[in-house]
Amino acid sequence: MAYNKAREERKWRIWKEAEEKQLRSLGVSEGDIEKLRVHDWAIFNSDRRYYEKLQDAGTYLEEVAEDTAQPEVKTVEEFLDSIENAVLYQELHQLDKLTLQALLMRTQGFSVTEISVELSLNKEVIYKRLNRFKKKIKKLLG
């Protein structure tokens, strides 16, 4: 959500008025309350500038991410070609075709149920294959 200066300033003013009311009821002098207001306003403006720059940076980073997005992998061969880690590549290359297809589909966001229907395998088989591979990779990659 974008930073809304007017809304944030309104929230700050409501908070500040409540704080000043409480300070007056405690007998704090008007001079001290004014010093505190000036100090808090400076902090508010500093925060506002930070959040506005952060929003600008976020927008820039989103644009860069869109520009450098990787093409979607659609086949097992493309999936293998996209792997840059040599150890992971070797392990993937040794897997059977069905397990590779299940891994690819899982990375594409398919559920285990959808994968089991597509590959005509039982869900438990899919879970077992994926978990076996995950354990093997954890051992290899530490």
Residue 19: half-sphere exposure toward Cβ, Cα within 13 Å? 12
pLDDT in tens, 31-45: 999 999 999 999 988
C-alpha torsion 36→41→47→50, nearest 10: -140
Q: What is the pLDDT of residues 53-85, one digit of tens each?
A: 776 655 555 665 555 555 566 787 887 887 787
Burial class (CB in 10 A: 0-12, 13-18, 19+), 102: buried
pTM of the model: 0.48
- How far apart, in whole angstroms, are the C-alpha atoms of residue 136 and residue 31? 69
Instruction: Give residue 91's pLDDT.
Output: 84
DSSP-based three-state secondary structure for 29 = coil
| pLDDT, position 14 | 93
Instruction: Return the CATH class of domain 76-141.
Output: mainly alpha
Domain boundaries, the chain: 5-67, 76-141
